[in-house]
Amino acid sequence: MAKTKTRDPQKTRAHILNAAFMEIYRHGYNGVGVRDLAKKADVTIGAFFHYFPTKSQVAYAIIDEIIHTGIMDRWIKPLAAYKNPLQGILKCFKNTFDNWPDELVSLGCPLNNLTQELSSSDESIKARAKIVLSDWIAKTKEHLKRAQDNGYLDKKVNLQELAEFIVTFQEGTFAMGKAMNDRKIFESMYKQFKRHIDSVEA
């Protein structure tokens, strides 16, 4: 990795955080030490602690910033471009899993991993994950509302329940792909996802 010579503190912090995200995603939070994280970001331990005084702070920032933003970028923002949000939701699902790198299939979803690994020992992780999931569901629901208002989605469908289904199933697909370590699962899941979305069309 290239040396980090920037003197822009925001950039340095972002660089450390991104490197930590990938290391923790690959090896688990308890599988890496602060020394590994600093080394991977090519900064001194002192610099690392300047930006993240405790290892927990890194985990919090990964959820609040990288994962939360990543979920919005992947699952929500693209929907705005679709006149029919249901088609957008299907397309996002297909694109995400078609393009998921082979080497990451066995790693699953970073949010689920971090939450599963830490939530029993750190209540704050659980609360933060809940904020991200709630926002993901709420933003999905907004697009479903638009679909319903514009006559694409059956008026009788409960939007909250459908939004919860969509997020649960997106997460479930990552989890099963990981457990089986087989990306063929993604194809099966897409077909079933499409069947479900088709069943709620107006």
Among 14, 34, 104, 175, binds its own copies (CB under 8 A): 175
Non-local CB neighbours of 58 within 8 Å, separated by 6+ positions: 17, 20, 24, 37, 52
Does the footprint of its own copies cover residue 53 (CB under 8 A)? no
- CA-to-CA separations, 155 to 27, 145, 161, 197, in angstroms, rounded: 45, 10, 13, 14
Binding positions for its own copies, 108-127, rule CB under 8 A: 112-113, 115-117, 120-121, 126
E strand or H helix at 39, and its extent?
Answer: helix 34-40
Does the footprint of its own copies cover residue 129 (CB under 8 A)? yes
Does the footprint of its own copies cover residue 172 (CB under 8 A)? yes
Does the footprint of its own copies cover residue 136 (CB under 8 A)? no
Our CB check for its own copies shows the closer of 47 and 159 to be: 159
Nearest to 30 by CA among 117, 129, 106, 123: 117
Our CB check for its own copies shows the closer of 44 and 181 to be: 181
Nearest to 39 by CA among 4, 5, 64, 6: 4
Q: What does the binding site for its own copies look like in residue numbers (CB under 8 A)?
A: 27-28, 30-31, 112-113, 115-117, 120-121, 126, 129-130, 133-134, 158, 160-162, 164-165, 167-169, 171-173, 175-176, 179-181, 185, 188-189, 191-192, 195-196, 198-200
